[in-house]
Protein backbone atom coordinates (compact mmCIF):
# COMPACT_ATOMS: atom_id res chain seq x y z
CA UNK A 1 0.00 0.00 0.00
CA UNK A 2 1.19 3.51 -0.77
CA UNK A 3 2.03 5.81 2.11
CA UNK A 4 -0.63 8.42 2.82
CA UNK A 5 0.43 12.06 2.66
CA UNK A 6 -1.14 15.30 3.84
CA UNK A 7 -2.96 17.36 1.21
CA UNK A 8 -0.96 20.01 -0.60
CA UNK A 9 -0.99 23.20 1.42
CA UNK A 10 -2.14 21.41 4.59
CA UNK A 11 0.97 21.30 6.78
CA UNK A 12 1.61 19.35 9.97
CA UNK A 13 2.98 21.22 12.97
CA UNK A 14 5.51 18.87 14.51
CA UNK A 15 6.34 18.98 18.26
CA UNK A 16 9.25 21.43 17.97
CA UNK A 17 7.17 23.81 15.84
CA UNK A 18 4.14 23.42 18.10
CA UNK A 19 6.17 24.46 21.15
CA UNK A 20 7.25 27.62 19.34
CA UNK A 21 3.69 28.41 18.29
CA UNK A 22 2.48 27.90 21.86
CA UNK A 23 5.14 30.31 23.15
CA UNK A 24 4.02 33.00 20.71
CA UNK A 25 0.35 32.39 21.50
CA UNK A 26 1.06 32.70 25.23
CA UNK A 27 2.69 36.11 24.70
CA UNK A 28 -0.28 37.25 22.59
CA UNK A 29 -2.78 35.97 25.16
CA UNK A 30 -1.08 37.92 27.97
CA UNK A 31 -0.81 41.00 25.74
CA UNK A 32 -4.55 40.98 25.02
CA UNK A 33 -5.44 40.37 28.66
CA UNK A 34 -3.56 43.54 29.67
CA UNK A 35 -5.74 45.49 27.23
CA UNK A 36 -9.05 44.04 28.38
CA UNK A 37 -9.63 42.03 25.20
CA UNK A 38 -11.54 38.77 25.56
CA UNK A 39 -11.18 35.67 23.43
CA UNK A 40 -13.97 34.44 21.16
CA UNK A 41 -14.03 31.11 19.33
CA UNK A 42 -16.15 30.58 16.23
CA UNK A 43 -16.79 27.47 14.07
CA UNK A 44 -14.47 26.54 11.22
CA UNK A 45 -17.53 25.93 9.03
CA UNK A 46 -20.04 28.66 8.19
CA UNK A 47 -22.80 29.18 5.64
CA UNK A 48 -21.30 30.33 2.34
CA UNK A 49 -23.54 33.39 2.22
CA UNK A 50 -21.75 34.84 5.27
CA UNK A 51 -18.57 35.33 3.28
CA UNK A 52 -20.25 36.15 -0.02
CA UNK A 53 -22.11 39.02 1.70
CA UNK A 54 -19.38 40.00 4.11
CA UNK A 55 -16.20 39.78 2.05
CA UNK A 56 -17.71 40.57 -1.34
CA UNK A 57 -18.51 38.34 -4.30
CA UNK A 58 -16.12 40.27 -6.56
CA UNK A 59 -13.09 39.54 -4.37
CA UNK A 60 -10.53 36.87 -5.24
CA UNK A 61 -11.21 35.19 -1.89
CA UNK A 62 -14.88 34.53 -2.64
CA UNK A 63 -14.53 34.10 -6.39
CA UNK A 64 -11.49 31.82 -6.52
CA UNK A 65 -10.18 30.67 -3.16
CA UNK A 66 -12.92 29.40 -0.85
CA UNK A 67 -13.43 25.76 0.12
CA UNK A 68 -17.21 25.46 -0.39
CA UNK A 69 -19.56 22.50 -0.69
CA UNK A 70 -23.13 21.34 -0.10
CA UNK A 71 -23.71 19.30 3.03
CA UNK A 72 -26.25 16.49 3.43
CA UNK A 73 -28.94 19.03 4.24
CA UNK A 74 -28.31 20.77 0.88
CA UNK A 75 -26.87 23.78 2.71
CA UNK A 76 -24.02 25.66 1.03
CA UNK A 77 -21.13 25.64 3.52
CA UNK A 78 -17.62 27.12 3.50
CA UNK A 79 -14.50 26.58 5.58
CA UNK A 80 -13.81 30.05 6.92
CA UNK A 81 -11.27 31.95 4.76
CA UNK A 82 -10.86 34.74 7.35
CA UNK A 83 -11.97 35.52 10.89
CA UNK A 84 -13.75 38.88 10.89
CA UNK A 85 -17.02 37.86 9.24
CA UNK A 86 -17.40 34.91 11.63
CA UNK A 87 -16.80 37.10 14.68
CA UNK A 88 -19.33 39.68 13.49
CA UNK A 89 -21.87 36.95 12.77
CA UNK A 90 -21.42 35.58 16.29
CA UNK A 91 -21.68 38.99 17.92
CA UNK A 92 -24.91 39.76 16.04
CA UNK A 93 -26.42 36.31 16.58
CA UNK A 94 -25.86 36.38 20.34
CA UNK A 95 -26.82 40.03 20.87
CA UNK A 96 -23.46 41.01 22.37
CA UNK A 97 -23.71 44.57 21.10
CA UNK A 98 -26.53 45.22 23.59
CA UNK A 99 -23.85 44.82 26.28
CA UNK A 100 -21.76 47.68 24.91
CA UNK A 101 -18.44 47.85 23.08
CA UNK A 102 -16.98 44.44 22.25
CA UNK A 103 -13.21 44.01 22.38
CA UNK A 104 -12.47 40.52 21.11
CA UNK A 105 -9.61 38.42 19.84
CA UNK A 106 -9.50 35.06 18.08
CA UNK A 107 -6.95 32.54 16.86
CA UNK A 108 -7.07 29.46 14.69
CA UNK A 109 -6.99 27.97 11.20
CA UNK A 110 -8.40 29.55 8.04
CA UNK A 111 -8.68 28.01 4.57
CA UNK A 112 -8.03 29.38 1.09
CA UNK A 113 -7.33 27.47 -2.09
CA UNK A 114 -4.27 29.34 -3.31
CA UNK A 115 -0.77 28.44 -4.43
CA UNK A 116 1.25 27.28 -1.40
CA UNK A 117 4.55 29.05 -0.78
CA UNK A 118 6.78 29.99 2.13
CA UNK A 119 4.61 31.53 4.84
CA UNK A 120 1.38 30.87 2.93
CA UNK A 121 -0.54 27.61 2.98
CA UNK A 122 -4.05 26.49 2.09
CA UNK A 123 -4.72 25.86 5.75
CA UNK A 124 -3.16 28.84 7.47
CA UNK A 125 -3.50 30.32 10.93
CA UNK A 126 -4.31 33.79 12.16
CA UNK A 127 -4.47 35.72 15.39
CA UNK A 128 -6.84 38.64 15.10
CA UNK A 129 -8.48 41.44 17.06
CA UNK A 130 -11.92 42.94 16.47
CA UNK A 131 -13.25 46.02 18.29
CA UNK A 132 -16.94 46.65 17.66
CA UNK A 133 -18.78 49.78 18.75
CA UNK A 134 -15.92 52.30 18.46
CA UNK A 135 -15.69 54.96 15.77
CA UNK A 136 -13.05 57.50 16.82
CA UNK A 137 -9.67 58.05 15.23
CA UNK A 138 -8.21 57.45 18.69
CA UNK A 139 -9.59 53.91 18.70
CA UNK A 140 -7.97 53.34 15.30
CA UNK A 141 -4.61 54.42 16.71
CA UNK A 142 -5.08 52.29 19.83
CA UNK A 143 -5.82 49.16 17.79
CA UNK A 144 -2.81 49.80 15.56
CA UNK A 145 -0.63 50.31 18.64
CA UNK A 146 -1.87 46.99 20.03
CA UNK A 147 -0.55 45.19 16.94
CA UNK A 148 2.69 47.18 16.82
CA UNK A 149 3.45 46.56 20.50
CA UNK A 150 2.72 42.83 20.22
CA UNK A 151 5.22 42.47 17.39
CA UNK A 152 7.82 44.43 19.36
CA UNK A 153 7.26 42.28 22.47
CA UNK A 154 7.74 39.18 20.33
CA UNK A 155 11.10 40.60 19.26
CA UNK A 156 10.37 41.45 15.62
CA UNK A 157 12.62 44.21 14.32
CA UNK A 158 12.73 46.12 11.06
CA UNK A 159 9.05 47.04 11.42
CA UNK A 160 7.31 49.55 9.17
CA UNK A 161 3.73 50.73 9.57
CA UNK A 162 1.93 51.82 6.40
CA UNK A 163 -1.45 53.53 6.65
CA UNK A 164 -4.02 54.84 4.21
CA UNK A 165 -7.65 55.92 4.17
CA UNK A 166 -10.26 54.16 2.07
CA UNK A 167 -12.76 56.85 2.99
CA UNK A 168 -16.52 56.34 2.99
CA UNK A 169 -18.46 54.38 0.40
CA UNK A 170 -19.26 57.71 -1.29
CA UNK A 171 -15.56 58.61 -1.37
CA UNK A 172 -14.67 55.25 -2.89
CA UNK A 173 -17.43 55.42 -5.48
CA UNK A 174 -16.22 58.86 -6.52
CA UNK A 175 -12.64 57.64 -6.73
CA UNK A 176 -13.64 54.40 -8.44
CA UNK A 177 -15.19 56.31 -11.32
CA UNK A 178 -12.12 58.51 -11.67
CA UNK A 179 -9.72 55.55 -11.48
CA UNK A 180 -11.68 53.41 -13.97
CA UNK A 181 -11.75 56.24 -16.49
CA UNK A 182 -8.01 56.80 -16.07
CA UNK A 183 -7.09 53.11 -16.33
CA UNK A 184 -9.50 52.39 -19.20
CA UNK A 185 -7.67 54.97 -21.28
CA UNK A 186 -4.47 52.99 -20.60
CA UNK A 187 -5.85 49.44 -20.55
CA UNK A 188 -3.29 48.28 -23.10
CA UNK A 189 -0.61 48.78 -20.40
CA UNK A 190 -2.36 46.65 -17.75
CA UNK A 191 -1.51 43.04 -16.95
CA UNK A 192 -4.26 40.43 -17.63
CA UNK A 193 -5.40 40.17 -13.99
CA UNK A 194 -5.73 43.95 -13.71
CA UNK A 195 -7.72 44.11 -16.95
CA UNK A 196 -10.16 41.60 -15.48
CA UNK A 197 -10.43 43.58 -12.24
CA UNK A 198 -11.11 46.82 -14.10
CA UNK A 199 -14.79 45.92 -14.40
CA UNK A 200 -15.23 43.87 -11.21
CA UNK A 201 -13.00 45.32 -8.46
CA UNK A 202 -10.82 48.17 -9.80
CA UNK A 203 -9.47 49.28 -6.41
CA UNK A 204 -7.66 45.94 -6.12
CA UNK A 205 -5.56 46.95 -9.13
CA UNK A 206 -3.77 49.34 -6.77
CA UNK A 207 -2.40 46.29 -4.96
CA UNK A 208 -1.05 44.63 -8.12
CA UNK A 209 2.43 43.13 -7.83
CA UNK A 210 3.01 43.29 -11.60
CA UNK A 211 6.02 45.62 -12.20
CA UNK A 212 4.55 47.15 -15.37
CA UNK A 213 1.24 47.87 -13.66
CA UNK A 214 3.00 49.29 -10.61
CA UNK A 215 4.96 51.64 -12.85
CA UNK A 216 1.74 52.78 -14.51
CA UNK A 217 0.00 53.32 -11.17
CA UNK A 218 2.71 55.73 -10.07
CA UNK A 219 0.99 58.29 -12.29
CA UNK A 220 -2.61 57.35 -11.40
CA UNK A 221 -4.90 59.53 -9.27
CA UNK A 222 -4.92 58.60 -5.58
CA UNK A 223 -7.83 57.97 -3.27
CA UNK A 224 -6.63 60.71 -0.93
CA UNK A 225 -7.62 63.24 -3.55
CA UNK A 226 -11.21 61.95 -3.50
CA UNK A 227 -11.67 61.97 0.28
CA UNK A 228 -14.30 64.15 1.87
CA UNK A 229 -13.26 66.71 4.47
CA UNK A 230 -14.50 64.42 7.25
CA UNK A 231 -12.52 61.44 5.96
CA UNK A 232 -9.40 63.58 5.55
CA UNK A 233 -9.72 64.86 9.11
CA UNK A 234 -10.14 61.30 10.44
CA UNK A 235 -6.89 60.22 8.76
CA UNK A 236 -5.04 63.26 10.04
CA UNK A 237 -6.19 62.53 13.60
CA UNK A 238 -5.00 58.93 13.34
CA UNK A 239 -1.59 60.19 12.25
CA UNK A 240 -1.53 62.65 15.13
CA UNK A 241 -2.29 59.97 17.72
CA UNK A 242 0.34 57.65 16.26
CA UNK A 243 2.89 60.45 16.45
CA UNK A 244 1.93 61.10 20.09
CA UNK A 245 2.72 57.43 20.85
CA UNK A 246 6.04 57.61 18.95
CA UNK A 247 4.93 54.94 16.49
CA UNK A 248 6.59 55.68 13.13
CA UNK A 249 4.42 55.37 10.04
CA UNK A 250 4.30 56.05 6.33
CA UNK A 251 1.20 57.03 4.36
CA UNK A 252 0.92 54.65 1.41
CA UNK A 253 -1.73 55.93 -0.99
CA UNK A 254 -1.66 52.61 -2.90
CA UNK A 255 -2.50 50.53 0.16
CA UNK A 256 -5.85 48.79 -0.18
CA UNK A 257 -7.19 45.75 1.60
CA UNK A 258 -8.44 42.76 -0.40
CA UNK A 259 -11.86 42.55 1.26
CA UNK A 260 -14.81 44.76 0.35
CA UNK A 261 -15.91 45.60 3.88
CA UNK A 262 -13.06 48.03 4.69
CA UNK A 263 -13.51 51.81 4.97
CA UNK A 264 -11.54 54.76 6.36
CA UNK A 265 -8.33 53.62 8.08
CA UNK A 266 -6.44 50.73 6.48
CA UNK A 267 -2.98 49.64 7.57
CA UNK A 268 -0.26 47.02 7.23
CA UNK A 269 2.81 46.30 9.34
CA UNK A 270 5.80 44.83 7.55
CA UNK A 271 9.17 43.46 8.64
CA UNK A 272 12.44 43.28 6.70
CA UNK A 273 13.64 40.13 8.48
CA UNK A 274 13.03 37.92 5.43
CA UNK A 275 15.26 40.05 3.22
CA UNK A 276 12.39 42.08 1.76
CA UNK A 277 9.48 43.87 3.34
CA UNK A 278 7.02 41.13 4.27
CA UNK A 279 3.55 41.90 5.62
CA UNK A 280 3.02 40.29 9.03
CA UNK A 281 -0.13 42.13 10.09
CA UNK A 282 -2.92 43.98 8.33
CA UNK A 283 -6.30 45.42 9.08
CA UNK A 284 -8.56 48.41 9.07
CA UNK A 285 -11.95 49.89 9.79
CA UNK A 286 -15.17 48.19 8.60
CA UNK A 287 -18.07 50.34 9.78
CA UNK A 288 -20.72 48.83 7.49
CA UNK A 289 -20.14 45.12 7.99
CA UNK A 290 -22.23 44.58 11.12
CA UNK A 291 -25.32 46.08 9.49
CA UNK A 292 -24.58 44.20 6.26
CA UNK A 293 -24.72 40.94 8.22
CA UNK A 294 -28.04 41.74 9.88
CA UNK A 295 -27.02 43.77 12.95
CA UNK A 296 -27.53 47.41 13.86
CA UNK A 297 -25.31 50.15 12.37
CA UNK A 298 -22.06 49.62 14.27
CA UNK A 299 -18.59 51.06 13.70
CA UNK A 300 -15.74 48.55 14.01
CA UNK A 301 -12.03 48.07 13.42
CA UNK A 302 -9.73 45.08 13.53
CA UNK A 303 -6.59 43.35 12.31
CA UNK A 304 -5.11 39.91 11.79
CA UNK A 305 -1.59 38.56 11.66
CA UNK A 306 -0.59 35.36 9.89
CA UNK A 307 1.14 32.85 12.14
CA UNK A 308 3.06 31.09 9.35
CA UNK A 309 4.59 34.34 8.12
CA UNK A 310 5.20 35.53 11.68
CA UNK A 311 7.07 32.33 12.60
CA UNK A 312 9.35 32.72 9.56
CA UNK A 313 10.07 36.28 10.64
CA UNK A 314 10.77 35.21 14.24
CA UNK A 315 13.13 32.45 13.11
CA UNK A 316 15.04 34.92 10.93
CA UNK A 317 15.13 37.36 13.84
CA UNK A 318 16.43 34.65 16.18
CA UNK A 319 19.25 33.83 13.76
CA UNK A 320 20.21 37.49 13.47
CA UNK A 321 20.00 38.15 17.22
CA UNK A 322 20.59 34.97 19.32
CA UNK A 323 20.17 36.91 22.56
CA UNK A 324 16.89 38.62 21.63
CA UNK A 325 13.28 37.94 22.59
CA UNK A 326 12.56 36.06 19.35
CA UNK A 327 15.41 33.64 20.07
CA UNK A 328 13.98 32.79 23.48
CA UNK A 329 10.58 32.07 21.90
CA UNK A 330 12.00 29.78 19.23
CA UNK A 331 14.55 28.03 21.48
CA UNK A 332 14.27 24.33 22.18
CA UNK A 333 12.53 23.65 25.49
CA UNK A 334 14.79 21.62 27.80
CA UNK A 335 13.71 19.70 30.92
CA UNK A 336 14.94 20.70 34.37
CA UNK A 337 16.02 17.15 35.09
CA UNK A 338 16.84 14.06 33.02
CA UNK A 339 16.20 10.88 35.00
CA UNK A 340 18.67 8.09 34.15
CA UNK A 341 17.56 4.67 35.47
CA UNK A 342 18.46 1.01 34.93
CA UNK A 343 17.42 -2.16 36.72
CA UNK A 344 14.06 -3.60 37.71
CA UNK A 345 13.91 -1.90 41.12
CA UNK A 346 15.41 1.32 39.76
CA UNK A 347 12.90 1.65 36.94
CA UNK A 348 9.97 1.29 39.34
CA UNK A 349 11.49 3.83 41.75
CA UNK A 350 12.27 6.25 38.90
CA UNK A 351 8.65 6.12 37.70
CA UNK A 352 7.41 7.08 41.18
CA UNK A 353 10.04 9.81 41.59
CA UNK A 354 9.34 11.36 38.18
CA UNK A 355 5.65 11.65 39.03
CA UNK A 356 6.38 13.21 42.44
CA UNK A 357 8.78 15.77 40.95
CA UNK A 358 6.40 16.71 38.14
CA UNK A 359 3.65 17.25 40.71
CA UNK A 360 6.07 19.58 42.52
CA UNK A 361 6.49 21.64 39.35
CA UNK A 362 9.77 20.18 38.06
CA UNK A 363 10.09 19.39 34.34
CA UNK A 364 11.39 15.81 34.21
CA UNK A 365 12.28 13.62 31.25
CA UNK A 366 12.29 9.98 32.29
CA UNK A 367 14.47 7.73 30.17
CA UNK A 368 12.37 4.68 29.35
CA UNK A 369 14.80 2.94 27.01
CA UNK A 370 16.27 0.45 29.46
CA UNK A 371 19.61 1.02 27.71
CA UNK A 372 22.97 1.03 29.43
CA UNK A 373 23.96 3.98 31.58
CA UNK A 374 26.43 5.21 28.95
CA UNK A 375 23.75 5.61 26.26
CA UNK A 376 21.33 7.18 28.72
CA UNK A 377 23.96 9.74 29.79
CA UNK A 378 24.50 10.68 26.14
CA UNK A 379 20.76 11.29 25.76
CA UNK A 380 20.81 13.33 28.95
CA UNK A 381 23.54 15.56 27.48
CA UNK A 382 21.54 16.03 24.27
CA UNK A 383 18.36 16.87 26.19
CA UNK A 384 19.70 20.22 27.39
CA UNK A 385 18.71 19.46 31.00
CA UNK A 386 20.62 21.29 33.72
CA UNK A 387 20.79 18.18 35.93
CA UNK A 388 20.57 14.45 35.61
CA UNK A 389 19.37 12.15 38.38
CA UNK A 390 20.85 8.66 38.45
CA UNK A 391 18.98 5.70 39.90
CA UNK A 392 20.26 2.14 39.64
CA UNK A 393 19.44 -0.87 41.75
CA UNK A 394 22.38 0.01 44.00
CA UNK A 395 20.95 3.49 44.63
CA UNK A 396 17.59 1.95 45.43
CA UNK A 397 19.19 -0.40 47.95
CA UNK A 398 20.98 2.56 49.56
CA UNK A 399 17.86 4.76 49.41
CA UNK A 400 19.84 7.46 47.58
CA UNK A 401 19.72 9.42 44.32
CA UNK A 402 22.82 10.77 42.61
CA UNK A 403 22.33 14.27 41.17
CA UNK A 404 24.93 15.18 38.53
CA UNK A 405 25.15 18.72 37.05
CA UNK A 406 25.19 18.94 33.26
CA UNK A 407 25.02 22.58 32.15
CA UNK A 408 25.92 24.39 35.37
CA UNK A 409 28.92 24.59 37.66
CA UNK A 410 28.00 22.60 40.77
CA UNK A 411 29.05 19.56 42.77
CA UNK A 412 27.55 16.11 42.37
CA UNK A 413 25.20 15.43 45.27
CA UNK A 414 23.40 12.52 46.86
CA UNK A 415 19.90 12.99 48.26
CA UNK A 416 17.25 10.85 49.90
CA UNK A 417 15.26 8.79 47.38
CA UNK A 418 12.18 8.98 49.62
CA UNK A 419 12.33 12.77 49.90
CA UNK A 420 11.56 14.41 46.52
CA UNK A 421 11.67 17.84 48.19
CA UNK A 422 15.42 17.40 48.63
CA UNK A 423 15.78 17.07 44.85
CA UNK A 424 13.67 20.18 44.34
CA UNK A 425 15.83 22.06 46.85
CA UNK A 426 19.04 21.21 45.00
CA UNK A 427 17.54 22.27 41.65
CA UNK A 428 16.28 25.56 43.08
CA UNK A 429 19.54 26.33 44.85
CA UNK A 430 21.67 25.67 41.78
CA UNK A 431 19.75 27.45 39.00
| Per-run averaged pLDDT (10 residues), the chain, 431 residues | 92 93 96 97 96 77 88 95 95 96 97 88 96 96 97 93 91 84 83 80 78 84 87 96 97 76 90 81 93 94 95 91 86 90 94 95 94 94 92 94 88 90 87 64
On whether the CB atoms of residues 412 and 405 are closer than 8 A, the answer is yes
CATH superfamily to which 337-429 belongs: Anticodon-binding domain (3.40.50.800)
Whole-number Å distance between alpha carbons of 224 and 203: 13
Which pLDDT score, from 0 to 100, does residue 376 have? 94
Which pLDDT score, from 0 to 100, does residue 70 have? 94
> Parallel, antiparallel, or unpaired: how do β-strands 123-132 and 300-306 relate?
antiparallel
- Residue spans per domain, the chain: 15-168+228-328, 337-429
15-168+228-328 and 337-429 in the same fold: no
Query: Collapsing DSSP states into helix, strand and coil, what is residue 291?
Result: helix
Which letter, b or e, does each residue of 24-47 get, where b requires 16 or more Cβ atoms within 10 Å of its Cβ?
beebbeebbeeeebeebebeeebe
Q: pTM of this prediction?
A: 0.87
Asked: is 15-168+228-328 a CATH 3.30.930.10 domain? The reply is: yes
On whether the CB atoms of residues 301 and 285 are closer than 8 A, the answer is yes
Which pLDDT score, from 0 to 100, does residue 258 have? 59
Which pLDDT score, from 0 to 100, does residue 192 have? 82
Whole-number Å distance between alpha carbons of 179 and 205: 10
Amino acid sequence: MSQLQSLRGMVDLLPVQTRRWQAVEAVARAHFRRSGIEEIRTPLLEVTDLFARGIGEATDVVGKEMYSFQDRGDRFCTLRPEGTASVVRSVVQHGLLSQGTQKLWYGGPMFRYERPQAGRQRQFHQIGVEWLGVSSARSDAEVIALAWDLLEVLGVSGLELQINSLGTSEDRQRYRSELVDWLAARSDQLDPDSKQRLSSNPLRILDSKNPQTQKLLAEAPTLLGALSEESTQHLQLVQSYLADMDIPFRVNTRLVRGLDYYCHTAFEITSDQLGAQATVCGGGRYDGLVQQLGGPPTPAIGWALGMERLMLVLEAEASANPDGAAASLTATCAPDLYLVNRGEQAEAAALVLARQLRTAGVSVELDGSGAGFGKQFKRADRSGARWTAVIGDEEVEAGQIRLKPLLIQAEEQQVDLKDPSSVVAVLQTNT
